[in-house]
Amino acid sequence: MLHWENVMSSSSHSVHRPIPREPEETDSDSQEMLNSIVTMLGRRLTVYTSLYQTALAERLGLGMVDVKALELVIEFEPITTGQLACLAGISSGGTTAVIDRLEAAGFVVRDKHPLDRRIVVIRPVPEKCEEIERHMRAVAEDVAHIGARYEREQLSAVHSFLAQCVHALKIEALGMLGDNGAAQPGEARPGSATDKRRT
């Protein structure tokens, strides 16, 4: 599970530094394939992820904003209200309302930060969030079926490639949020929900 401290510390040092690339030549076919991969990982993956979230929200009886927030909580736990507001792109008041709904539905709980008891963090409830995992199993089974057609070395190459692509996207996205004034770990912007919870 990724933690906010680890993510932000890596992004703050790497966002404006390009990923090292070995000089290489690509023929027209390879370039066309790379362009197709970029399209699939960019627009198409985003579109179908959004459609999946819409269907998931309906099955869970939640709103789209709530599902997006829940997935962020699962990915970055423990996360503060201010950090969740930044990542979800909604106001502090709106984030508090989302957390209230998720908590009432049993998906998350409010807890004390392990290193600073004055800070309130949001954590997912594993048993309840298992519902999300169940809905993803059909996709996982399809992926496993497709993967069975490839040799271990091929799967290793695909895994390495995708991991680096996700890392590059993570660095760019969190770096852009940081440039927009996102609170750094252990900090809270004046007037934010996190700041108000400190005494």
Tokens coding 103: 């908590």
What phi and psi, each to the nearest 5 degrees, are found at residue 15?
Answer: -60, -35
Using the CB atoms, write b or e for 21-43: b if 16+ within 10 Å.
eeeeeeeeeeeeeeeeeeeebee
Give the pLDDT of residue 24: 54
Residue 191: the pLDDT is 40
User: Which helix H or strand E contains 25, and what residues bound it?
Assistant: none
Q: What tens digit of pLDDT does each residue of 49-79 get?
A: 889 889 989 988 999 999 999 999 998 989 9
pLDDT score at 173: 82
Give the residue, 153 or 25, on which the prediction is more confident: 153
How much is the pLDDT for 8? 46
pLDDT in tens, 161-189: 989 988 988 888 888 877 765 543 334 43
Tens digit of pLDDT for each residue in 76-131? 989 999 999 999 999 999 999 999 999 999 999 999 988 888 899 999 999 999 88
Q: Is the pLDDT of residue 198 over 60?
A: no
- Inter-residue contact 90 to 104 (CB < 8 Å): no
Which sequence spans correspond to the domains of the chain?
Answer: 4-12+29-197
H or E stretch at 90: none
**pLDDT at site 26:** 57
The CATH architecture to which 4-12+29-197 belongs is Orthogonal Bundle (1.10)
Of the candidates 164, 124, 139, the one whose C-alpha atom is nearest the C-alpha of residue 37 is: 164
pLDDT of 142 over the 60 cut: yes
Q: Which two tokens stand for residue 198?
A: 């400190």
Residues 3-48 have pLDDT tens digits of 444 444 434 444 344 455 554 555 788 888 888 888 888 788 888 8
